[in-house]
Structure 1
Amino acid sequence: LHEEILDFVKYISPTPEEKYMREYALKRISDVILKLWPDSIVKPYGSYKTNLYLPTSDVDIVILNEDLFVPSCFFDLQEALLEADIVSKIEVIDKARIPIIKLVEKVTGYHFDISANAESGLHSARLMEKFIESSGYGQAIVALVLVIKQFLAQRYMNEVYSGGLGSYSVFILVTNFIMMHPCVQNKQIIPQENLGVLLLEFLELFGRHFNFEEVGLGVSLKKGAFYFRKEDKDWYNYNRPRLLSIQDIDDESMNFLINFKLFK
């Protein structure tokens, strides 16, 4: 299984040609945004920025411009993109907590999610990159994240709005699992050499044994990986006690309460 995981990661990792096509699609969309709002800054984030994306993953980009009125400005952008004839499908999601535009770039077929002035995604991507670079377990984290993302995508369990698990949460779960693993802490196993065992034990822990009702988890550059009692943070939901509770990497007051159907 370890060798199969390595082969899978190698197989789905983007080729130079695929990277070029994503960059090409990103530039086409960015050009329209900057023509419409020249004072803006357009930046990618999420799995595209951290190189944790699957071939079918969306590209997340954020427009930084304090003069924009969200979400009404997205309808102007929608009109501009349609006029430029570079999208085959486009939709403004203006009622979401963070309004976005979802679109499909016409030439490449890549899906994009566009937000505005939501800088938390940029900061989260930088923190994820730091964990991959400095934790000592970067290769194992990347491999397991990619395998689990594919596992979820094949079961339509990767869309947050429908009860799935997004990339950021998968990253925190995997990083926490590896860093908290007793055999890793005791240096009895090297994570990047035991991916098969770790994948099975990850699925066993969160699929069968984890105490979702009472316990949450998180990772931090300062504290490392940790568990916590939901009640200690006043994050216990009496109406939905089995929500998966994940603390944000950078903000200890931020809690992701996820109704993830795999864990029911």
Structure 2
Amino acid sequence: MQIARCSLRCGSSNAFRPQQALRCLFFEQKLPLNFDNARRISTTHPKLQEEERPVVETPPADARIPSESSPIPPSEYIDTASLQGSLQTLRRKNRERLLGQEHASTDDPSPSGGQSKDAKVDDLLPERRWAINKATLPKTTDEPQPQARTNSYKAQKITKRKSKYNAVDPLEYTGMYVRPSIGEANPEQEYPWTKDIPDDLRGMARLDAEIWNFSEYIRPTPAEQATFKAVTEDVQKCAKEYCPDYETEAYGSQSSGLALSTSDIDIRLYDKEHKFSREAPRAKSRNEIFAHIKRLEHQFRFQNSDYIMVRIRQARYPLLSMLHKKTGLDIQIVASNDTSYSNNLIQQYLVDYPYLYANYALIRSLFEIRGLTDVYRGGLGSYSLIMMIMAVIKSKGVTVSGEQGHIRAGGLLAAKRLLDVLQFYAGLDTYETALSLEHPFKVNKHDKLDVSEKQRAEFAEASHLEFLNKLALIDHMQPYLLCLQDPADPLNDLGRKGYGWKHIQTTIKVLRGVITKTMSSSVQQNSKDLKAPAQSIIARAVGPCFKAYEARRAITEAYGQEILDKERAAKEKAVRAADKKAVEAESADI
């Protein structure tokens, strides 16, 4: 027999019907109250009997009032003509019940088992008294009623102004120097990037040489590149098998030319129809592709033993992260928009400014060993870092031909630009300043939604200023955030999620002082003792990465070397087979 589904409804003669009470409140305020549908509330705590009761209307003579034998004694009724009065009554009754429970559980209860005559609310513990007051007192708010919310109120919410509608304190904290996760380095130790540098090279020249050598040290070797390529192709092959309707492509540092030996592998999952779409996917498309991301998670977790720690992470775009079991490489599959424009932009920067990769490799490494590149914990990603460097270079007003000429002439631009970047961000007031890679490069943060006529004229001359003006709105919750306009997407703020900026800036200040002090001391030491061994200038900044990455790079190197050996053996076998066929063909002709 099929069970009928129906909603439960109280059949009591005095059941409380909310719809009846609301109807009486809003539509039938002048009609007599029907006490068949009114809820009676019993009294009362002895200590509170003398309190002033809210005035209620006397029921009409023809109303049916329950008798003394009623299960609930007739005492007091909710006045449905006044919702506020009804709520006050309910809260007072709740307060009576809580006070009765509190004093009934004491060691010296009254003979009647309830509250004694001398008991007071003030006799309770402060914590308990606070909880009772919070549960029973009416909730008040300064926020205007919905009908009173004017356009000015909405503008205040949009601009995030601190007002009585948004009275919150900013999430302030004190920035601290972040030490490397494996401890500080010893400047006197010999590092791979200092082996070929003569000891008599000191000061700015030595810093420049160490930056270039470090970039070559941290750059992926041919074996490591083979590992990256093999793992990327394997992930793409599996993704194509699990989601045949979607395409994949490598993006991020592996495709832009910024890859380090410790970089992760980023793979974009996209629909064929939206391959070149630079806009973020709509909600419907995002939900569809999220279902495919969940399918990939299930397949990689339960059907593929080559990958571990498979999980979906909360991000702007659906994102699947995992770890390659044999090499330990981090892999991310992201359903993002097209990033080819950003990649082309970075590749052009690398060509125009030859020292850019060297500076990026150093800054990225010193952040990474301190955990400041984790975007899920308030750090800054690779793309944000490269644009931070470019913002400083652009603000210097240098030309591409001039920079390349200095490099050819032996100029120490790698060291100079590194110190420029550290000095710029160590003294940047992010409370007041927003940055861009186009002129005027700096604008003041503001709290105004309106645009003046002068600003409109400026927007007409430089279109990026209109978007930068929107990005420069002060976030009163985190007014210290770095505001950096993305040149590939003018409405994208590259620092909006970097809530660890104050730690990042303090770390930059400390390391700038350490590098400058070590560089000057090396010059003084060289003038006193020419035979004294030189110390590494960048050891305090990136020295710990040598120990941190040594074991990991050895695994990646060995895995890639096996791949290269197999490819070399296959090529040699093919060459021998081709030579054998050629010999057989010559002998047949004879």
Residue 130 (str. 1) matches residue 353 (str. 2) = no
Q: In the aligned structure 1, how far is the partner of 2:440 from the partner of 2:233?
A: 37
TM-score of the pair, normalised by structure 2? 0.41
TM-score of the pair, normalised by structure 1? 0.87
Cα distance, 1:120 vs structure 2? 4.3
- Quick one: which of 249, 257, 265 aligns to 1:43? 249
Q: In the aligned structure 2, how far is the partner of 1:165 from the partner of 1:58?
A: 15
Q: In the aligned structure 2, how far is the partner of 1:7 from the partner of 1:162?
A: 31
Cα 1:45–1:185 change in 2 (3 A) is closer
Residue 76 (str. 1) matches residue 295 (str. 2) = yes
Cα distance, 1:89 vs structure 2? 2.2
Residue 18 (str. 1) matches residue 224 (str. 2) = yes
Moved more, 210-219 or 191-200: 191-200
Cα 1:203–1:184 change in 2 (3 A) is farther
Cα distance, 1:187 vs structure 2? 5.0
Q: Deviations over 1:153-172 (max 9, x none)?
A: 01110111211111111011
TM superposition outliers: structure 1 runs of 4+ over 4 Å: 182-189
Cα distance, 1:13 vs structure 2? 1.0
- Quick one: which of 59, 64, 73 aligns to 2:265? 59
Q: In the aligned structure 1, how far is the partner of 2:316 from the partner of 2:299?
A: 24
Q: In the aligned structure 1, how far is the partner of 2:256 from the partner of 2:440?
A: 20
Number of the residue aligned with 1:214 = 432
Moved more, 182-191 or 52-61: 182-191
Q: In the aligned structure 1, how far is the partner of 2:296 from the partner of 2:402?
A: 52
Question: One-letter code of the match for 2:374?
Answer: E
Moved more, 166-175 or 245-254: 245-254
Unaligned runs of 5+ in 1: none
> Any conservation in 1 of the 2:349–2:356 contact (CA below 8 Å)?
no
- TM alignment of 1:158-169, pairs within 5 A: 158-169=373-384
Number of the residue aligned with 2:450 = none
- TM alignment of 1:192-211, pairs within 5 A: 193-207=412-426, 209-211=427-429
Question: One-letter code of the match for 1:251?
Answer: D
Number of the residue aligned with 2:324 = 105
Unaligned runs of 5+ in 2: 1-206, 274-284, 447-468, 507-590
Q: In the aligned structure 2, how far is the partner of 1:157 from the partner of 1:90?
A: 23
Question: CA RMSD of the aligned region, Å?
Answer: 2.5
Cα distance, 1:240 vs structure 2? 1.9
Q: In the aligned structure 2, how far is the partner of 1:75 from the partner of 1:251?
A: 29
The structure where strand makes up a greater share of residues is: 1
Question: One-letter code of the match for 1:165?
Answer: L
Q: Deviations over 1:5-48 (max 9, x none)?
A: 11101111111111111010011111110111223221111111
Residue 173 (str. 1) matches residue 382 (str. 2) = no
- Quick one: which of 72, 83, 86 aligns to 2:306? 86
Q: In the aligned structure 2, how far is the partner of 1:263 from the partner of 1:214?
A: 15
Moved more, 142-151 or 238-247: 238-247
Cα 1:104–1:186 change in 2 (3 A) is closer
Identity of aligned residues (%): 24
Q: In the aligned structure 2, how far is the partner of 1:141 from the partner of 1:225?
A: 22
Cα distance, 1:184 vs structure 2? 6.8
> Any conservation in 1 of the 2:243–2:296 contact (CA below 8 Å)?
no
Q: In the aligned structure 2, how far is the partner of 1:36 from the partner of 1:186?
A: 49
Residue 247 (str. 1) matches residue 485 (str. 2) = yes
Q: SS at 2:355's partner residue?
A: helix
Cα distance, 1:79 vs structure 2? 2.1
Q: SS at 1:91's partner residue?
A: strand
Q: SS at 1:253's partner residue?
A: coil
> Any conservation in 2 of the 1:213–1:242 contact (CA below 8 Å)?
yes
Cα 1:31–1:185 change in 2 (3 A) is closer
Number of the residue aligned with 2:282 = none
Moved more, 184-193 or 194-203: 184-193
